[in-house]
Amino acid sequence: MARKKLHSVELTERERKDLRQYLRKGKSSTRFLTRARILLLADEGQEDKEIAEALMVSKSTVGRIRKRYHEGGLDFALNEKSRSGAPPKIDGRIEAQLTLLACSEPPDGRSKWTVR
């Protein structure tokens, strides 16, 4: 007999309805829709391995989505964490100088600016 999952998914009827509606419309990102499918299958009692194989994702992805649902609910499980991204390579002062230069008249003998 399978043991009870640490992060079991027990959706409310409203959550099930919302997830099915997202899938029917199909206007969200692929990652969002995959997370919705994971939650619906987990709610039906399927094992992580079965869900992972059916949706072609890793078992750790399934476990992570279960955990996120358990920790923060439906919205937290469906939406990605914000990412800081790479730090800017130039600061505002340099960006302003470049904008000023690019918007100015090109050098004598040239009809437009070039990077050469």
Residues 1, 103: Cα–Cα separation, whole Å: 71
Residues 108, 110: Cα–Cα separation, whole Å: 6
Length of the chain measured in residues: 116
SS3 label, residue 41: helix
pLDDT for 4 equals 56
Contact criterion met (CB below 8 Å) for 40 and 96: no
Residues 34, 55: Cα–Cα separation, whole Å: 7
Place of tokens 């990077």: 115
User: Can you state the angle between helices 30-43 and 13-25, rounded to 10 degrees?
Assistant: 140
**φ, ψ (nearest 5 deg) of residue 41:** -70, -40
pLDDT for 1 equals 45
Fold adopted by 13-78: Arc Repressor Mutant, subunit A (1.10.10)
pLDDT for 3 equals 53
Residues 3, 69: Cα–Cα separation, whole Å: 19
Residue ranges per structural domain of the chain: 13-78
Task: Please write the tens of the pLDDT for every residue from 46-95.
Answer: 999 999 999 999 999 999 999 999 999 999 999 988 778 888 888 889 99
**Reported pTM:** 0.69
Task: Please write the tens of the pLDDT for every residue from 9-43.
Answer: 999 999 999 999 999 998 989 999 999 999 999 99
